[in-house]
Structure 1
Amino acid sequence: MGAYTVLLVDDEEEVIQVIMKKINWEGLGFSVVGYANNGVKALEMVEEFQPDVVMTDIKMPYMDGLELSNHIKADYPATKILIFTGFDEFEYAKEAIHLDIGEYILKPVNSVELMNVFTQLKIKLDQEISEKRNVETLQKYYMESLPLLQANFYSTLIEGRIREDEVSAYLSNYQISLAGPFFCCLVIYASPSQIPKEMNPLLLSMSVQKQAQERLGEKWQAKCFSYLGNTVLIVQLKNENEISELTDECDRFCKYAYRIIGAIVTVGIGQVCGDILQLSQSYTGAREAVSYRVIYGTSRAINIKEIAPQEISKSGVSNDAELSYLFRTIRLNSASDIIEAVDKYLDHIFSSSLSLQQHHIAIMELISELYKFCMNNEIVMEEFSEDMRKLYNSLLDLEPNGLRKWLVDIGLSFHEKLTSARSRSTKSFVDKAKEYVRNNYSDEDLSLDSICEVLGLSNSYFSTIFKKETGNSFIGYLTDYRTDQASRQLIETNEKSYMIARNVGYTDPNYFSYVFKRRFGVSPSKYRTEHTKE
């Protein structure tokens, strides 16, 4: 394990500089990733760096240390918090006991005392990491995993092999509670390409499963089991809108798994359903979402509804493995992969053991599945909007090379249209977000959470795509837009600064001045003076 990371938070710059210079952080096994002079900035840095330790003052502008600690404990419970404060604030600090604060340190900070605190903290962190990576603990957990009957039921359920009249008996006999009222399947894929040296692939998988149960199991009443080499969770939701919150939590879990046990984890999230017998469809969607890691990257959660809403098959594809592989390749892979998949499929079509009648049936099946693929993915192709019998007859007359060229062209065309549709989809909701900002920037409650609720997207997916499309975070874009509007009002109107602050969504004029100066380098009043000189 490398050095543990520390974020320092205090509105007195000289205090932070003294702490940074007088403490031998490297010798203690820590490194300072940065510092912030207010709680709002600190929370942004926590989200970006996810430090192991946050050392914060209590009284600060915009957001005090206790409010900051509340946010950190809610979203990053593994982060340790140290509070340092003046003697007259100590009684106030005691209010933080329910936050499980690690230590209270009185100002002025004594370097010897501080070194002792961090020495003990490193021992505690080392013990926690050791417990999570302990091979014997993982082996014991593997032996005490879910009972065989329950695991078999879950596997059979996502395979779609449970009849409706059997459900009640299974749930009663196996003492399983699936109250819902809504359900969703998660597929957790741990990459075998990076395994900590003290583990083997099986133990890594078990470690990821154990962490998933701890981080996701209780809140989402999840049923966790292993299936086809992956960890699968059946989660329960109170309403369909909770899927965005679940996606964000899964995204944080992926980053947590990498930081704690060194595992590269991707979580695929299937569609929400209101009947446990539909979990087989949700599982299929979750497994397909994991496949999209080749496009959207690893160490993140991928919600199939968000990344490919128009690509979820409503009726499944052919049972033929080569045809199924071809459609999957058209969705996800490159042109050369599509050509290879076409060849693999046609090797099956033109097999010497295939009779002429079987060949005709295969061509009919191919046309049917291509047509369904078009319909399910909202692809408009002239060849599939004309006389289907004419298309069928023309393909029967083609020799192998002619059919191969036709199928390659169709596959590449599908691939291009799907890629274009994905691009339009992401640009569409980014444009909607920008338009919403233009119409609502004066609303003080406008935030990342509220825009994601309006768009029906998870924070993690929206933030990733917005940054990719605009080169800026959503909060950065919102702040820039608000300060741009404020700068115009400063020049074009005689409104007081505090009124302009309200006009652009800031109820605290001091914080508005802080944000404005950070953007333009001068205070609002000085900006007005400089730009209204005759």
Structure 2
Amino acid sequence: MENYTLLLVDDEEEVLDAIIKKLDWEALGFTIIGRASSGMKALDIMADCQPDVIMTDIKMPYMNGLELIQHVRADYPTTKVLIFTGFDEFEYAKEALHLSVGEYILKPAGAKELTEVFTRLKEKLDREINESRNVEILQQHYQESLPLMQTNFYSTLLEGKIKEVDLPRYLANYQIPLTGPLYCCLVLHTSLTQAPAEMDISLLVASVQQQAKNYFDQEWEAVYFTYLTDTVMLVQLQNENEVSRLTDDCDHLCKYIFRMIGAIVTIGIGQVAAHLLELDQSYAGARMAVSYRGIYGASRVINIKEVAPQKMEGFNLTDDIELSDLLKKIHVGSADEISAEANKYLDHVYTTEKSLPQHIIVVSELIGSLYRFAANNSISIAPFTKDLKDLYQWLPDLEPEALRRWLVEISNLLHEKLRSAGSRSTQSLVSKAQEYVHQNYANESLSLDDVCQSLGVSNSYFSSMFKRETGKSFIGYLTDYRLDRASRLLLETEEKSYVIGRKIGYIDPNYFSYVFKRRFGLSPLKYRMGYAESDEQRVKTH
């Protein structure tokens, strides 16, 4: 296990030197990552690297140790705190206990005493880590992760990658509620080109899935999940004759969803499977049934046995694994990786197709998948914003090499647009955070938590993103903005410095003076006087 990190805080440099030299910190299991002479400097360090432990003095200028601990408790609740001070007063000790301080050590402390304290602390930290790994917590984590694991199992099942020997273990470990005796796969395809204008695309599919659950739960035992942007239902049947009733219910559902939320949904029903491991073929049939919407119309149910009664074995509409891999590369791959994945996908297409109709269906499904990918990621590009009907007509007629060039080009274009959209999103988040500071900087208690709560993001993500985009920590940006405002007020008004300090969020005038001098090299009063003297000198010169 790596050493625990330690930050030392004391305004007496010789005390910090002595503490560092007294002990073999590495042998005790600790690494000193920094030292600070004030509470403010300590918070600056913690904004960049959160230590496991902080040991602080109480009496320090501008921000005492107890105020520092309050900030640490609010923003870094997992950090352990030790007090190392010369003040043996009951009120300090009582406040320290209220703040859940681990140890209260009086100066001067010898090497033996410090060794005992940090030995106990390391044991406590080790114990907490071990407890976090105990069976009860793992079980809780397992239950929380179960829906995701089940969805992964269903996806792998549809891809035909579950081995029969492993199936019982998966069913037990993932608590899969599929007992048969028969199964049928349904694909609920939501049209994004005819979505209600006021409906967010990312919410539309989720809304359709919820409507289906509410509609079917009383009549059918089924599981629901999202796969390649469509909702998939795995329905349990008692006998094959139930498919007729299921088809009628699906037809009613399509009409119900259109009436309730205005969404156009086409439901494809695959062939009945006698075994869970046959659901990959049922899924292929359901997807092929959906592809027939161009012939039979959308906002309806299409049963593959009714429109293509011939056997479906041996033909998968598209290779979902290859397509999924291509979409992943569009997200995070390089241009070469995207090109390779696009060619890999088409290699599979050309080796599995057996007729011209199959090729038309496959290419149409490819267009639909890329369009949904663009829509779900708010990407606007010409092939999917105009002449989409023409794209469906001419693309299947392309020669293989021309189709390869088109797919590589469009995949890389989606990648570039995705990167640009992500950059704009990050910049927008930073701009919103800066605007929040501009509106609330006068609030003395303004903190990182306030901004993250307002933006709806985590502290860790926001901190790293904000520093990457601005070159400053959030606390550093807030401090600089406040002080820039203060410098203007000092020069443009005659208000006293303590009044200006309060206006920018510093109630303690001494602390305001301290941070101002650290930024500008002069106290607020001398800053104002220096500017006035310079201005007077310029007048005399002229």
TM over 0.5: yes
Counterpart for residue 125 of structure 1: 122
Cα distance in 1, alignment partners of residues 95 and 101 from structure 2 = 10
Q: Does 1:376 align with 2:376?
A: yes
Q: Which moved more, 1:58-67 or 1:519-528?
A: 58-67
**Is the contact between residue 516 and residue 524 of structure 1 (CA under 8 Å) also seen in structure 2?**
yes
Cα distance in 1, alignment partners of residues 152 and 31 from structure 2 = 48
Seen in structure 2, the aligned counterparts of structure 1 residues 521 and 272 have a Cα distance that, compared at 3 Å, is farther
What displacement does 1:480 show?
Answer: 1.1
Counterpart for residue 361 of structure 2: 361
Local SS of the residue matching 2:83: strand
Provide the TM-score with structure 2 as the length reference.
Answer: 0.62
What displacement does 1:55 show?
Answer: 1.9
Q: Does 1:523 align with 2:520?
A: no
The one-letter code of the counterpart of 2:491 is I
Counterpart for residue 418 of structure 1: 418
Seen in structure 2, the aligned counterparts of structure 1 residues 75 and 466 have a Cα distance that, compared at 3 Å, is closer
What displacement does 1:432 show?
Answer: 2.6
Cα distance in 1, alignment partners of residues 466 and 347 from structure 2 = 43
What displacement does 1:91 show?
Answer: 4.7
What displacement does 1:67 show?
Answer: 4.3
What displacement does 1:77 show?
Answer: 5.5
The one-letter code of the counterpart of 2:33 is V
Q: Does 1:111 align with 2:110?
A: yes
Cα distance in 2, alignment partners of residues 396 and 282 from structure 1 = 27
Counterpart for residue 277 of structure 2: none
Seen in structure 2, the aligned counterparts of structure 1 residues 382 and 103 have a Cα distance that, compared at 3 Å, is closer
What displacement does 1:500 show?
Answer: 1.6
Counterpart for residue 435 of structure 1: 435
Cα distance in 2, alignment partners of residues 338 and 88 from structure 1 = 67
Give matches, 1:325-340, under 5 Å.
325-340=325-340
**Is the contact between residue 58 and residue 84 of structure 1 (CA under 8 Å) also seen in structure 2?**
yes
Counterpart for residue 480 of structure 1: 480
Counterpart for residue 444 of structure 1: 444
What do residues 192-218 of structure 1 show as CA deviations (whole Å, max 9, x unaligned)? xxxxxxxxxxxxxxxxxxxxxxxxxxx
What do residues 223-280 of structure 1 show as CA deviations (whole Å, max 9, x unaligned)? xx989xxxxxxxxxxxxxxxxxxxxxxxxxxxxxxxxxxxxxxxxxxx99998x8997
The one-letter code of the counterpart of 2:358 is Q
What displacement does 1:528 show?
Answer: 1.8
**Is the contact between residue 5 and residue 30 of structure 1 (CA under 8 Å) also seen in structure 2?**
yes
What displacement does 1:63 show?
Answer: 4.1
Counterpart for residue 395 of structure 1: 395
- Which ranges of structure 1 fall in alignment gaps of 5 or more residues? 162-224, 228-270, 286-313
Give matches, 1:227-266, under 5 Å.
none
Cα distance in 1, alignment partners of residues 80 and 445 from structure 2 = 29
Counterpart for residue 299 of structure 1: none
What do residues 115-154 of structure 1 show as CA deviations (whole Å, max 9, x unaligned)? 33324523651575388579xx97x849x9649x979975
- The structure number with the bigger radius of gyration is 2
Local SS of the residue matching 1:532: helix
Percent of pairs with identical residues: 52
Q: CA RMSD in A?
A: 4.2
What displacement does 1:85 show?
Answer: 2.8
Counterpart for residue 83 of structure 1: 83
Seen in structure 2, the aligned counterparts of structure 1 residues 345 and 482 have a Cα distance that, compared at 3 Å, is same
Cα distance in 2, alignment partners of residues 153 and 23 from structure 1 = 47
Provide the TM-score with structure 1 as the length reference.
Answer: 0.63
The one-letter code of the counterpart of 1:498 is Y
Local SS of the residue matching 1:392: helix
Seen in structure 2, the aligned counterparts of structure 1 residues 335 and 126 have a Cα distance that, compared at 3 Å, is same
Counterpart for residue 344 of structure 2: 344
Cα distance in 2, alignment partners of residues 532 and 15 from structure 1 = 41
Cα distance in 1, alignment partners of residues 476 and 127 from structure 2 = 38
Seen in structure 2, the aligned counterparts of structure 1 residues 76 and 462 have a Cα distance that, compared at 3 Å, is closer
Seen in structure 2, the aligned counterparts of structure 1 residues 283 and 17 have a Cα distance that, compared at 3 Å, is farther
Cα distance in 2, alignment partners of residues 226 and 362 from structure 1 = 33
Seen in structure 2, the aligned counterparts of structure 1 residues 93 and 284 have a Cα distance that, compared at 3 Å, is farther
**Is the contact between residue 3 and residue 31 of structure 1 (CA under 8 Å) also seen in structure 2?**
yes
Give matches, 1:91-106, under 5 Å.
91-106=91-106
Seen in structure 2, the aligned counterparts of structure 1 residues 48 and 372 have a Cα distance that, compared at 3 Å, is closer
Seen in structure 2, the aligned counterparts of structure 1 residues 284 and 44 have a Cα distance that, compared at 3 Å, is farther
Q: Does 1:514 align with 2:514?
A: yes
**Is the contact between residue 103 and residue 117 of structure 2 (CA under 8 Å) also seen in structure 1?**
no
Counterpart for residue 300 of structure 1: none
What do residues 142-172 of structure 1 show as CA deviations (whole Å, max 9, x unaligned)? 9x9649x9799756764698xxxxxxxxxxx
**Is the contact between residue 28 and residue 119 of structure 1 (CA under 8 Å) also seen in structure 2?**
no
Pairs aligned (count) = 393
- Which ranges of structure 2 fall in alignment gaps of 5 or more residues? 155-172, 176-204, 215-222, 230-264, 267-286, 288-317, 538-542
**Is the contact between residue 517 and residue 524 of structure 2 (CA under 8 Å) also seen in structure 1?**
yes
Q: Which moved more, 1:375-384 or 1:392-401?
A: 375-384
What displacement does 1:484 show?
Answer: 1.6
Seen in structure 2, the aligned counterparts of structure 1 residues 31 and 399 have a Cα distance that, compared at 3 Å, is closer
Q: Which moved more, 1:49-58 or 1:405-414?
A: 49-58
**Is the contact between residue 58 and residue 93 of structure 1 (CA under 8 Å) also seen in structure 2?**
no
Q: Does 1:454 align with 2:454?
A: yes
The one-letter code of the counterpart of 1:397 is D
